[in-house]
DNA sequence: GTTACTGCAAACTTTTTGCACGACA
DNA sequence: TGTCGTGCAAAAAGTTTGCAGTAAC
């Protein structure tokens, strides 16, 4: 668990309130799916979340995980990350932040940086529509992949 | 065709050279797939490219389009766009640029902006790896979706 | 007690792969 | 002519959906 315990608690609390406010039910399955996503800062995909939650809720089904994540996304409690091709991945950090993306292995890590936060809606985007959020993707090679590359020399 | 004819020509030229340099064959199918992607600035998905190319090469198969795009991506002649969930989309603009993304309909448009180009590799990313490229995603609602929204009031 | 949610199974969409024929160099 | 690329078909991967039983409120 790489996310601080109190932040995990805060995220789970926020879930309960948001569900109640929307008239949705706080089920065991939803709670455990959120707990799983909230604990991780690795932007896990649906399959990983499913496997992890099943350790605690052995009867949960994959489609419930899909449905739960879609519901939570709709409520703004998690965000679907679209930085890599392939399986859907989710992020419980709903605060404004940026991403480092490894183009080799697909690692995604949150980047908090005030300089990047200061990037403002470009004039270049004005003709297309109204900008509501800005995310900077820093693409490159992660430390692990770089090390592996050296080992193969 | 929204991309200037001479730019399309330049991209097709660049294909021929790159394929030859890699010892790959310049087939009719590859040429027409590139022409299709190079002509468009809408970041088409594989299915759209397939449909469009089939008008000129009726016998082409969908899996050839998939394979061709993967090959071209490997050579750096097109880039797979990972800004929206769902089907793979491709961009023939391999120059450094940014994207406006409509979160409602999935529209993606290239944004050229010197201010955004000036965004530099954040210190915040340093611990994770080496940054090789930076893309800014400007997310919001496009003009068309905004208009539709008003019409439904 | 209602009604929304879940699990199961099946369907659907998107993408990949094996193989034999045909076309490029 | 040799070999790579294509088309076909089937499979694999990822995601969605209908339905009947179950659990939350």
Q: How confident is the model at residue B153 (pLDDT cuts 50, 70, 90)?
A: low
What's the pLDDT score for residue B46?
98
> Does A140 sit within 8 Å of B137, measured CB to CB?
no
* Alpha carbons A150 and A27: distance in angstroms, whole number: 48
With CA atoms as reference, the chain A residue closest to B118 would be: A119
> Does A84 sit within 8 Å of B124, measured CB to CB?
no
What's the pLDDT score for residue A150?
83
Question: Would you say residue B47 has pLDDT above 80?
Answer: yes
Q: Which residue has the higher pLDDT, A124 or A55?
A: A55
The mean pLDDT of A30-54, rounded to a whole number, is 97
| Nearest by Cα to B103 from B125, B79, B84 | B84
Residues of B in contact with A120 (CB under 8 A): 115
What's the pLDDT score for residue B2?
80
List the Cα angle B10/A140/A46 in 5-degree steps: 105
What's the pLDDT score for residue A48?
98
| Nearest by Cα to A106 from B120, B93, B129 | B129
Residues of A in contact with B141 (CB under 8 A): 129-130, 132
Q: How confident is the model at residue A153 (pLDDT cuts 50, 70, 90)?
A: low
Assigned token pair, A80: 């679907």
| Nearest by Cα to B75 from B61, B94, B49 | B94
| List of residues 6+ apart from B68 with CB closer than 8 A | B29, B30, B33, B34
The mean pLDDT of A24-50, rounded to a whole number, is 97
> Does A125 sit within 8 Å of B107, measured CB to CB?
no
pTM: 0.93
Q: How confident is the model at residue A120 (pLDDT cuts 50, 70, 90)?
A: confident
Assigned token pair, B126: 């340093």
The predicted-structure confidence for A4-35, as pLDDT tens digits, reads as follows 999 999 999 988 899 999 999 999 999 999 99
Q: How many Å separate Cα B27 from the centre of its chain? A: 21
The predicted-structure confidence for B97-130, as pLDDT tens digits, reads as follows 999 999 999 999 999 888 888 888 778 877 999 9
- Residue of B113, B122, B142 with shortest CB distance to A129: B142
* Alpha carbons A33 and A16: distance in angstroms, whole number: 13
Q: State which residues between 84 and 113 of chain B bring their CB within 7 Å of strand C.
A: 86-88
Q: State which residues between 51 and 110 of chain A bring their CB within 7 Å of strand D.
A: 62-63, 66-67, 70, 86-88
Strands B98-102 and A108-111, by their bridges, are unpaired
Q: Is A58 on the interface with B (CB under 8 A)?
A: no
What is the nearest nucleotide to B20, using C1' and CA?
C25
Q: Which residue has the higher pLDDT, B77 or B126?
A: B77
Assigned token pair, A79: 């965000």
What's the pLDDT score for residue B1?
61
Scanning A82-141 for CB atoms below 8 A from B yields 82-85, 88, 98, 100, 102-103, 107, 109, 111-113, 115-116, 119-125, 128-141
* Alpha carbons A77 and A21: distance in angstroms, whole number: 13
Mean pLDDT of chain B: 93
| List of residues 6+ apart from B108 with CB closer than 8 A | B42, B43, B81, B83, B84, B89, B99, B100, B101, B102
**Which of the residue ranges B28-32, B50-54, B146-150 would you say has the lowest mean pLDDT?**
B146-150
- Asked whether the beta carbons of B135 and A139 are under 8 A apart, the reply is yes
Q: How confident is the model at residue B63 (pLDDT cuts 50, 70, 90)?
A: very high
Assigned token pair, B45: 């998905």
The mean pLDDT of A72-81, rounded to a whole number, is 95
Q: How confident is the model at residue A1 (pLDDT cuts 50, 70, 90)?
A: low
* Alpha carbons A78 and B122: distance in angstroms, whole number: 25
Alpha-carbon separation of residue A38 from A14, A15, A48, B136 (angstroms): 11, 10, 13, 26
Question: Would you say residue B22 has pLDDT above 70?
Answer: yes
What is the nearest nucleotide to B62, using C1' and CA?
D7
Question: Would you say residue A36 has pLDDT above 80?
Answer: yes
Question: Would you say residue B151 has pLDDT above 80?
Answer: no
- Residue of B82, B123, B146 with shortest CB distance to A113: B123
């Amino acid at each position: 668990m790489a996310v601080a315990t109190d932040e995990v608690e805060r995220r789970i609390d926020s879930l309960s309130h948001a569900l109640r406010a929307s008239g949705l039910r706080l089920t065991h399955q939803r709670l455990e799916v959120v707990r799983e996503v909230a604990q991780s800062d690795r932007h896990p995909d649906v399959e990983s979340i499913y496997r992890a939650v099943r350790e605690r809720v052995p009867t949960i089904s994959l489609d419930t995980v899909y449905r739960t994540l879609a519901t939570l996304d709709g409520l703004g409690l998690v965000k679907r990350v679209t930085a890599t091709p392939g399986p859907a991945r989710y992020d419980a950090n709903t605060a404004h932040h940026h991403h480092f993306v490894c183009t080799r292995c697909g690692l995604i890590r949150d980047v908090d940086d005030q300089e990047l936060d200061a990037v403002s809606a470009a004039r270049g985007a004005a003709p297309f529509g109204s900008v509501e959020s800005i995310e900077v993707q820093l693409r490159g090679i992660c430390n692990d992949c770089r090390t592996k590359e050296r080992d193969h020399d």
